[in-house]
A and B are shown apart, each in its own frame.
Chain A
């Protein structure tokens, strides 16, 4: 390390992004509106599931271990669907990254969305960039304190709304809202609200771009996934350099490039970097500098796109004199198509599995101690704990039978052996597991280990069933 530039610690430089308007800014507004609406609105959507199940469209019911997603209900043993969703989310990020670079960071990441919201509040209360800088430098006064308190107050309100909304995904939202205000909600609900309110305030209000640059692992991963065909926000230095004011350029046009060194791109950047230094990890590709520079170019009558979404390949081509390529054209290429294919096939497979899954299911566990019991008439008895799972939100009558065990009889611990039959009937309550302790007696002569199957069949109109292999053992 060279002497002089020695410290490993850098004090944060204030970032006061300037308001900007343009295509990408509007896109960002739209995405912010949609994502926030989804976040705050989802728990309030209703979905009728009948009298035995909650009517909240999206509900993670930890207490009863159910996950409801509109028409889909997921039980803990079906957690692979959630794993599948996570895999899809992962591959989806690969897809998005290989197609449009760090678009997640720039538009949809909650850190970006909330920071954007907070910065907007900040501009609303403190004024735009210059006013903010001035206020930051000003000594503490009543006026400054009032402004600060107002701003922090609004931030806190947003943070509270954010942290508060989270818990509604885990319980019936209207009931919980009432309970929260009445002070009768579970302590964990208040703790969650408190923690999320604090983190929202801290991450969105004060840490902001430092989260992206120092804390978040995703930029590193994404940087590794970018290739020469990925879209990144690029300052076209071959076009922009040598920088110089309009006046200077008029004086000696051959010397200067298109960049008028107005610093607008730096002023609007929410992470406070200068894109003209080249691609860097601090750039979340929010494209606000594109909007800013396009406006400048329009004002000075030069072609737009001095800063633009651009791939490394395009950079090379354009340096050789090729015309700029439309950004969208880079989307279709083998890598993105391959990701899209994988993503879609996982989605299709999951949809198929969801459609084909039976909502009734049987599992059997044989008693191991003792494995078999000799009865007084010489027959051999094995005992099993049989669980019949009814995943529908209504009670269902079922018949449990055995297949592949000739001359065997079946009875439960609730009836005497004299009533043993070939099948046992039961009604499984809505959305729950019925446990049946089943005894099977079969004649003693026979193989020491005999494989057979328990079957369950719903005897209502909808029908459906399942079977489970089991084993009968003799001395």
Chain B
């Protein structure tokens, strides 16, 4: 401790001491630097101004809203609106271009695909999955097999009106009968048809059962699936001879499909999304690798 005459003044620094001391270590009562003090006052003034201008103090049921009317929710809404306004011309251009003309405008097409990618993440992933790879009963949109067709216009129509959508006349409908449950075929007959389907999809070798099934298939199934089982896109009847199955190609699953039929539903989107968004979604789905050129002959292919 300093040994100045005045007890409270440190001799070395000439500064007043706090007055307490531990093991010979005392604390100086150094005055605040002037600039520090003024900065401190300035922050107080700033704080008062801030409380007046901005939302600040929580109340029981509300909070002080400030004179500027600012809120973080409002700021976000403003940002979103600004972004919407920014891309509005692009959306308008997409909405005004027929989907079949989009591939001729690469820049617009690219914007549409990217917009579709974003919209897909919001509206479609719930069923089709984030990679659009689908799941049992929900088609994989990456492959080259399409129930209703894989060209741009057809995809757009499917998204617009949905599949088996109640209370919507334009929706896509295909009604496979529940052959077993509704006793259109006997249990043995259903087994024979399943055996035939296993053969035309090259999973089993022909057998007596499959030969009986071929006859039953021609009478009951060929109307929609075609005589050779390659499906009919206009009816949404899947191709039974390819490597892709919406519900599964094993005997049990095919049996269940024939017995109960399948009635998958996809919502219509024209009442929820605007034209541009639907168009963008269609271009995105088309870009995933299985998209077909426009004007494909219907009637071939399918799930």
Q: Enumerate chain A interface residues (CB-CB to B < 8 A).
A: 1, 3, 6, 367-370, 373-379, 381, 383, 413, 416-417, 439, 444
CB of B11 within 8 A of chain A?
A: yes
Contact B289 A381 (CB under 8 A): yes
| A413 and B287 form a contact (CB under 8 A) | yes
Inter-chain contacts of B140 with A (CB < 8 A): 370, 373-374
Inter-subunit contact B12/A3 (CB<8 Å): yes
Chief secondary structure at chain B's binding surface:
loop
Query: A377 contacts B11, CB within 8 Å?
Result: no
Complex: A370 Cα to B131 Cα, angstroms: 5
B204 within 8 A of A: no
Interface centre among B142, B143, B244 (most CB of A within 10 A): B142
Q: Does B242 contact A (CB under 8 A)?
A: yes
Q: B242 touching A369 by the CB < 8 A rule?
A: no
| Secondary structure of the A contact surface, majority rule | loop
Contact with A along B129-168 (1 / 0, CB 8 A): 1111100000010111100000000000000000000000
What residues on B are CB-neighbors of A6 within 8 Å? 12-13
Q: Does B301 contact A (CB under 8 A)?
A: yes
Interchain nearest-CB distance for B173 vs A (Å): 24
- In the complex, what distance in Å separates the CA atom of A376 from the CA atom of B150? 13
CB of A275 to closest CB in B, whole Å: 32
Instruction: Give Cα distance in the complex from A374 to B244, angstroms.
Output: 7
4 A-B pairs with least C-beta separation: A369-B131, A370-B133, A378-B243, A376-B242
Q: Provide the B10-38 mask, 1 if CB < 8 A to any CB of A, else 0.
A: 01110000000000000000000000000
A444 to chain B: which residues have CB within 8 Å? Answer: 243
Using CB atoms, name the residue of chain B closest to A439.
Answer: B289
> In the bound complex, what is the Cα–Cα distance between A3 and B242 (angstroms)?
98
Q: Which B269-296 residues have a C-beta within 8 angstroms of A?
A: 287, 289-290, 292-293
Does the CB pair A376–B130 fall under 8 Å? no
In the complex, what residue of chain A is closest to B302 when comparing beta carbons?
A: A376
A1 and B144 form a contact (CB under 8 A): no
A375 to chain B: which residues have CB within 8 Å?
143-145, 243-244
Contact between chains at B131 and A416 (CB < 8 Å): no
> Contacts A370-B133, A374-B140 given; 8 further ones with Cβ under 8 A?
A6-B13, A370-B140, A374-B244, A378-B242, A378-B243, A381-B289, A413-B289, A444-B243
Contact of A373 among B143, B239, B293 (CB under 8 A): B143
- A417's nearest neighbour on chain B, judged by CB, is B144
The answer to whether B243 and A383 touch across the interface, beta carbons within 8 angstroms, is no
Considering only residues 254-274 of chain B, those with a C-beta below 8 Å from chain A are: none
**Nearest CB of A to B110, in Å:** 11
Which residues of B line the A interface, CB within 8 A? 11-13, 129-133, 140, 142-145, 239, 242-244, 287, 289-290, 292-293, 301
A369 to B142, CA, bound (A): 10
Most chain B CB atoms below 10 A, which of A368, A369, A376 = A376
B243 touches A416 (CB 8 A): no
Asked if A374 and B287 make an inter-chain contact with CB atoms under 8 angstroms apart, the answer reads no
Give the complex CA separation of A378 and B144 in angstroms. 11
A contact residues around B289 at 8 Å (CB):
373, 381, 383, 413, 439
| A residues near B11, Cβ cutoff 8 Å | 3
Question: CA A110 – CA B13 in complex, angstroms?
Answer: 39
Q: Which residue of A lies closest to B239 (CB)?
A: A376
Contact B287 A373 (CB under 8 A): no
Among A3, A376, A383, the residue within 8 A (CB) of B301 is A376
Check A1/B142 contact, CB under 8 A, given A376-B301, A383-B289: no
B293 to chain A: closest residue by CB = A416
For B244, give its contact among A370, A376, A417 (CB under 8 Å).
A376
CB B19 to nearest CB in A, in angstroms, measures: 21
Interchain CA distance A367-B289 in the complex, whole Å:
12
Q: What chain B residues lie within 8 Å of A369 (beta carbons)?
A: 129-131, 133
Distance in angstroms from B145 CB to nearest chain A CB is: 4
Please pick, from B13, B129, B143, the residue contacting A376 in the complex, using a CB distance under 8 A: B143
| Complex alpha-carbon distance, A375 and B243, angstroms | 7
A1 CB contacts on chain B under 8 angstroms: 12
| 28 CB-based A-B contacts, threshold 8 Å | A1-B12, A3-B11, A3-B12, A6-B12, A6-B13, A367-B131, A368-B131, A369-B129, A369-B130, A369-B131, A369-B133, A373-B133, A373-B140, A373-B142, A373-B143, A373-B290, A374-B143, A374-B244, A375-B143, A376-B144, A376-B243, A376-B301, A377-B242, A378-B242, A381-B143, A383-B289, A413-B289, A444-B243
Q: Are A370 and B142 in touch, CB under 8 angstroms? A: yes
Q: How far is the CA of A46 from the CA of B32 in the complex (A)?
A: 57
Minimum CB–CB distance from B105 to chain A (whole Å) comes to 15
A416 to B242, CA, bound (A): 19
Nearest-neighbour CB distance to chain B for A56, whole angstroms, equals 32
**What separation, in Å, do the CA atoms of A416 and B243 have in the docked complex?**
19
Q: How far is the CA of A376 from the CA of B233 in the complex (A)?
A: 15
Write the nearest CB–CB distance from B294 to chain A, whole angstroms.
Answer: 12
Which residue of chain A is the closest to B103 with respect to CB atoms?
A414
Residues on A with C-beta less than 8 A from B130 are: 369
